[in-house]
Structure 1
Amino acid sequence: MRRRITVVGAGNVGATCAQELARRDYADVVLVDIKENLPQGKALDINQAAPVLGYEPSVVGSNG
């Protein structure tokens, strides 16, 4: 089973941490924030940047 890391806060710092964790393939990343649709949007951005940066996307967003 693959490890999963949760990043609390989907602002600039949290999203950057999530992207680096995904890029370095440490684990699947769950991005969590209380603001509606913010973590889902950031996760989508990170996943869409993955082919350009050369890694497999593994980030999801959640509100709770």
Structure 2
Amino acid sequence: MPNPHLLIRQAVEASDLTHAQIGDALGLHRTSVTSRLVGRTRWSVDDVLALATLLDVPLSRLVEAP
């Protein structure tokens, strides 16, 4: 089973958005986005939902059900 941070990081890397742009959209600092993408900090459910909308991808692409 893929690491949930890996699924999110792959979707972010496939987009043209910078960490700063994602942070602005989610109300986070760029370094907070980076911390989440490398797995140092957990993503909140609200942030993952907002990120899916921002990236225009289905939520299932960012999370994997157990």
User: TM-score range, shorter-chain basis?
Assistant: 0.3 to 0.5
* Greater fraction of residues in helix: 2
| RCO higher in structure (CA 8 A, sep ≥6) | 2
So what's the TM-score if we normalise by structure 1?
0.32
